């Protein structure tokens, strides 16, 4: 068991290393360096070569790519992503709180979505092809298909404008305490929640339908095991294991995929910061956000792997 855990942790670290190298290469080497990305085509065309060389020297871009990659990875290991190109502010200062805020939003969604999706998925599977299943399945398709900005706008019109129960736009500050931010964000959470529940309930329903149709469930039923025990203690764990990896991937995608919702509600998260960094061509900020998102995917995958290790003895072999 311990060696399996260590192997997965090592593989995760290796994946992170390659991801960091890839992000560096994608943003600084291919097709040009940070300066090429930051300057407009017109500027590049008009700038004298000696001035360009001077600027590259100032930003350390005249050093060999391998040397810069080494410095980048060393910086990443120390959580130092350098400074912004325009204002020379430390990138970590710019990214840290938005990252926390996005994790907070994603965390609130996951904590709420999982039990609700579980109830819906299990219920739909229990009453498979009955009216409840039809209602859940239809609702899931609708919830999964409608874009988040449509849901967000609809919720704002309903619960902020028509009935002013919740804030329509987030006025809390980037560095406000977590609870202050969450208290201001019921509509952003609800907006992401609808799609999340739909996705997770769909996966769980399929897993549960398969589990309930399996031989071991049939055998338990023949043995006279009460239906609720069959459902919750036997079928559910069997259904959860294959769903875990999909859930982990979804949770990871959530953090990087809530850009639209953050923009609709002016939520001070990573999405807003990423849009600002891309439009301002702040390469170092983009690198930090890309790496943070990648790290979240890797960590969630690792957690899912570890959970599967714990739940399924066959994987410890």
Partner 1 sequence: MPAFNRRTFMKTGLAGSAFLASLDVALLGSAGAQDGAPKKGGTLSYAQLSANRRSADATNARHPYFIVDANTRLQWNCLTWVDEKLGWQLEAASKVEPTDDKLNVWDVTLREGVLFHNGREMTSEDVASSFAYHRLNAPFARQIVKIEPVSKYVTRFTLEGGNAEFPYILAEYNSVIMPAADAKTIGMDGIGSGPFRIVATDPNRSVIMERFDGYWRKGLPLLDRVEVHNREGQQESALNGLRSGQFDAVLNIDARAAAQFASDAAYDIETAKGGYSFVIQLPKHPGSPFLDKRVRQAFAYAIDRDAIVRIAYGGKYGWVGNDSHLMVTDPAYVVRQGGRDIARARKLLAEAGYPNGITLPTLYWSPQLPEAGRYFQVVQQSAKEAGIVFAIEERPNDGYIQFRTGDNDLSKGNFHKFAMTAVGSRNPGISLFRMRDAFVESGHWRGPEHDQYIALYRQAMVTPDAGKRKAIYAEMQKILHEEVPAILPAGGDTFLVKRKNIRNMPYHPQIWSIRFDEVWKA
The residues of the shown chain that bind partner 1, judged by CB under 8 A, are 40-43, 46-48, 50-51, 54, 84, 86-87, 89, 93-94, 156-157, 160-161, 164, 167-169, 171, 173-175, 263-266, 268, 275-276, 279-280
Query: With contact defined as beta carbons under 8 Å apart, do 268 and 97 qualify?
Result: yes
Q: How far apart are CA 144 and CA 8, in angstroms?
A: 32
Q: Which is nearer to partner 1, 110 or 277 (CB)?
A: 277
Rounded least distance, CB 172 to partner 1, Å: 9
Report the number of secondary-structure helices (H) and strands (E) in the chain.
16, 0
Query: With contact defined as beta carbons under 8 Å apart, do 179 and 238 qualify?
Result: no
Of 298, 179, 184, 307, which Cα lies nearest the Cα of 242?
307
Rounded least distance, CB 180 to partner 1, Å: 12
Q: How far apart are CA 126 and CA 129, in angstroms?
A: 9
Q: Which is nearer to partner 1, 7 or 276 (CB)?
A: 276
Rounded least distance, CB 27 to partner 1, Å: 19
Q: Which is nearer to partner 1, 3 or 40 (CB)?
A: 40
Rounded least distance, CB 133 to partner 1, Å: 35
Rounded least distance, CB 171 to partner 1, Å: 5
Q: Which is nearer to partner 1, 26 or 46 (CB)?
A: 46
With 0-12 / 13-18 / 19 or more C-beta atoms within 10 angstroms meaning exposed / middle / buried, residue 151 is buried
Q: Which is nearer to partner 1, 46 or 111 (CB)?
A: 46
Q: Which is nearer to partner 1, 19 or 168 (CB)?
A: 168
Distances in Å between the alpha carbon of 317 and those of 5, 7, 31, 239?
12, 12, 44, 21
Distances in Å between the alpha carbon of 87 and those of 94, 123, 132, 170?
11, 54, 57, 26
Rounded least distance, CB 249 to partner 1, Å: 30
Paired with 83 in beta bridges are 90
Q: How far apart are CA 6 and CA 207, in angstroms?
A: 29
Q: Which is nearer to partner 1, 156 or 193 (CB)?
A: 156
Rounded least distance, CB 204 to partner 1, Å: 35
Count CB-CB contacts under 10 A for residue 119. Answer: 14
């Amino acid at each position: 068991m311990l060696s399996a855990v260590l192997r997965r942790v090592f593989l995760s670290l290796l994946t992170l290393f390659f991801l960091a190298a890839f992000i560096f290469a994608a943003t600084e080497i291919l097709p040009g360096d940070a300066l090429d990305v930051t300057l407009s085509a017109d500027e590049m065309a008009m700038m004298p070569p000696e001035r360009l060389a001077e600027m590259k020297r100032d930003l350390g871009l005249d050093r060999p790519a391998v040397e810069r990659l080494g410095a980048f990875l060393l910086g990443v290991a120390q959580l130092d992503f350098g400074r912004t190109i325009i204002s020379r502010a430390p990138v970590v200062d710019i990214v840290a709180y938005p990252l926390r805020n996005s994790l907070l939003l994603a965390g609130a969604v996951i904590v709420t979505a999982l039990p609700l999706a579980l109830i819906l998925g299990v219920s739909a599977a229990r009453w498979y092809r009955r009216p409840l299943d039809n209602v859940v399945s239809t609702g899931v398709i609708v919830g999964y298909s409608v874009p988040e900005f449509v849901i967000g706008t609809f919720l704002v019109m309903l619960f902020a404008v028509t009935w002013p129960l919740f804030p329509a736009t987030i006025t809390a500050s980037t560095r406000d305490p977590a609870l202050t931010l969450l208290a201001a964000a019921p509509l952003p959470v609800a907006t992401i929640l609808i799609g999340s529940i739909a996705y997770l309930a769909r996966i769980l329903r399929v897993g549960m339908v398969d589990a309930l149709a399996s031989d071991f469930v049939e055998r338990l039923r023949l043995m006279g095991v009460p239906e609720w025990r069959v459902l919750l203690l036997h079928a559910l764990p069997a259904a959860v294991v294959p769903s875990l990896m999909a859930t982990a991937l979804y949770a990871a995608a959530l953090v990087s995929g809530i850009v639209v919702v953050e923009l609709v509600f002016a939520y001070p998260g990573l999405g807003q910061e990423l849009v600002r960094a891309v439009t301002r061509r702040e390469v170092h900020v983009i690198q930090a956000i890309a790496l943070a998102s990648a790290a979240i995917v890797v960590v969630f995958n690792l957690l899912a792997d570890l959970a599967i290790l714990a739940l399924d003895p066959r994987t410890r072999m």
